[in-house]
Amino acid sequence: MSHFNALDPLLHSQLRLAVISILISVDFAEFTYLKEKTKATSGNLSVQLDKLEKAGYIRIRKSFRGKRPLTTCSITPKGKKAFRDYVQVLKKYINPE
């Protein structure tokens, strides 16, 4: 099985992969939207977003809507490339040549 490339461990986490999968198709997403779609707890989602941000895969912006805090996330070019690479590696697992 040495001809198989390793899957990106950062994206191999179910929650982080779900977040990247959502962000790849939108300009940005609010924290509450990501929480709702992934059914993650606030704490777990925060930790996973932090890991993705530290890797340079996403950008997190904190602001306010009125007096309420607003956190939005967007995917970076590095994150898009990592996702595409991850999908390509998965395709080779599904269809080895």
* pLDDT confidence of residue 94: 87
pLDDT at residue 95 in the model: 86
Give me the number of domains the chain comprises.
Answer: 1
| Per-residue confidence (pLDDT) for residue 76, from 0 to 100 | 98
The three-state secondary structure class of 73 is strand
Asked whether residue 72 is domain-assigned, the answer is: yes
**Given this model, what pLDDT does residue 14 score?**
95
Q: What is the pLDDT of residue 37?
A: 97
CA pair distance 74, 28, nearest whole angstrom: 4
Q: Which CATH number fits the domain that encloses residue 63? A: 1.10.10.10
pLDDT < 50: residue spans in the chain: 1
pLDDT at 1: 45
Q: What does the alpha-carbon distance between residue 34 and residue 37 come to, in Å, rounded to a whole number?
A: 5
- Going through 1-97 in order, the beta strands assigned E by DSSP cover 29-30, 58-65, 68-75
